[in-house]
Amino acid sequence: MRQLIAGNWKMNGLLAEARALATSIRAGAGGLDCDVLVCPPFTALTTVSELLLGSSVQLGAQDCSMQTGGAFTGDISPAMLHEIGASYVILGHSERRAMHGEIDEIVREKTVAALAQGLIPIVCVGETEEQRQSGRETEVVGWQIECSLPKGFSGIVAYEPIWAIGTGRTPSEDEVAAMHLFIREELTRQFGDGGRAMQILYGGSVKPSNAAALLALPEVGGALVGGASLKAEDFLGICRAVSAQR
Ligand code: PGA
């Protein structure tokens, strides 16, 4: 399976910046031996969608509603995302879990709604620093997988240790490999053959200089990139580092 390099732009990118970034990524993505995805903020989705038409770069959103429509002020439905050309949606990112009270059950319902619309969910899991220091990282991540993924789940899981997001710190290669192996075992236990084939991304301070090492680890099927996805050169540098390994 080709690695997936997904850029999570978070709440960054007024339209002029979004246009410039998408245009540069489109221009640099030709010939890469990996799948490339950008996830701009809602307001830039349509603009970026139009700029990416006919290119290999795919489009995703950073969240969606669990509802299909109606009186849900401020929400965006999976069908609305699908209509403007998004094929992926990030769900349960730790920033949404922490700042918007998105507990596992909400993440699971959103995942159900995304799948029903044919979107590919990227469901995020990961432990806090305190949980890792007290040796509870697999317990926490195992529980998140069990409770955030619905029955019959098909999609992508992103392992993002919260203490590595935006900090410049990453777990050791052994720690990443061990957690990805654990996640694979959990997915296989829950979903059988489907779980054996699911893509597992690593996220948290991925940059061009550490991408090759992190993405060569067993069971790492790509990266979810935050800060480094806002500079086309860095994001493409990560994509090139991964492509060069194949
Ligand atoms: P980061 O963010 O690459 O800036 O650490 C990753 C993420 O939050 O998805």
Atom of ligand 1 nearest to the CA of 10: 8
Res 245: pLDDT: 82
Start-to-end C-alpha separation, the chain: 11
* Ligand 1 touching residue 204 (CB < 6 A): yes
Atom of ligand 1 nearest to the CA of 165: 5
Q: Is 93 a catalytic residue?
A: yes
Res 240: pLDDT: 96
* Ligand 1 touching residue 37 (CB < 6 A): no
* Ligand 1 touching residue 7 (CB < 6 A): no
Res 191: pLDDT: 97
Pick the closest to residue 106 from 49, 143, 148 (CA basis): 148
What are the two backbone dihedrals, phi and then psi, of residue 95, each rounded to the nearest 5 degrees? -70, -35
Res 244: pLDDT: 84
Q: Which structure tokens are listed for 67?
A: 């509802």
Kindly report the length of the chain: 246
Cα three-residue angle 244-245-246, rounded to 5 degrees: 95
Spans of the chain, pLDDT less than 50: none
Q: What is the pLDDT of residues 166-218, one digit of tens each?
A: 999 999 999 999 999 999 999 999 999 999 999 999 999 999 999 999 999 99
Torsion of CA 223, 224, 229, 234, to 10 degrees: -20
Pick the closest to residue 126 from 71, 78, 167 (CA basis): 167
User: Which residue CA neighbors atom 7 of ligand 1 most closely?
Assistant: 226
Q: Decide: helix, strand or coil at residue 39.
A: strand
This prediction has a pTM of 0.98
Q: Is 180 a catalytic residue?
A: no
Going along the chain, which residue ranges are E strands? Answer: 4-8, 35-39, 58-61, 88-91, 120-125, 156-159, 199-203, 222-225
Ligand 1 test: best mutation among 12, 165, 230, most atoms within 8 Å of CB? Answer: 165
Res 1: pLDDT: 86
Candidate list 127, 160, 186, 219, residue with the active-site label: 160
